[in-house]
């Protein structure tokens, strides 16, 4: 039983396992406090993990290690970005994922060049950079309903421009 508890702690499976660096006894105690449904979900995740090829398991372990090494501010930024992504409409998510896949298909040199062009653009346009950061702060402070209203207004504006 200890082996799979350690594996679940390594995987960071769910909120009950979010405390990185817990001692195995702490993880076991938290497991004992979980509902049967939560335990069943964790067992299923472990089965899925063990069914993965070893290279995929190693990739997941490396991702967990990278996550644990992040400073708290960076973890919070990642959580906010994930939450914002999850609040996108399915179409918007698909478009964003397609753009990400396009970016990933670039060579490392092309990606670096694109990053450099963006940095240069933002340096050359400090007002645009300031505005982008302000827009991001404002977006993050909006409620889900406010964000959806903003998305709808942007869609309407795009449609009017497209006519």
**pLDDT number for residue 111:** 92
Average pLDDT (106-111) is 93
For 18, the 3-state DSSP assignment is coil
**pLDDT number for residue 15:** 42
> Which of 2, 7, 27 is CA-nearest to residue 16?
27
Percentage of the chain lying above the pLDDT 90 cut = 13
CA–CA–CA angle 10, 58, 65 (5° rounding): 45
Each residue of 44-100: pLDDT tens digit? Answer: 988 998 898 999 889 888 988 898 898 999 988 888 888 888 888 888 888 888 988
Structural contact between residues 51 and 113, judged by C-beta atoms closer than 8 angstroms: no
Which regions of 13-92 does DSSP assign to beta strands (E)?
none
Pairwise CA distance, residues 31 & 123, whole Å: 50
């Amino acid at each position: 039983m200890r082996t799979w508890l350690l594996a679940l702690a390594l995987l960071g499976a769910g909120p009950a396992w979010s405390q990185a660096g817990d001692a195995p006894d702490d993880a076991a105690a938290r497991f004992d406090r979980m509902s049967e449904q939560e335990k069943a979900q964790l067992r299923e995740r472990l089965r899925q993990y063990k069914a993965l090829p070893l290279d995929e398991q190693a990739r997941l372990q490396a991702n967990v290690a990278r996550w644990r090494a992040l400073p708290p501010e960076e973890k919070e930024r990642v959580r906010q970005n994930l939450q914002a992504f999850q609040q996108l409409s399915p179409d918007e998510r698909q478009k964003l994922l397609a753009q990400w896949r396009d970016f990933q298909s670039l060579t490392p040199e092309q990606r670096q060049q694109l990053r450099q062009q963006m940095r240069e653009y933002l340096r050359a346009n400090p007002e645009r950079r300031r505005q982008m950061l302000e827009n991001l702060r404002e977006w993050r402070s909006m409620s889900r309903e406010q964000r959806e209203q903003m998305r709808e207004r942007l869609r309407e504006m795009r449609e009017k421009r497209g006519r």
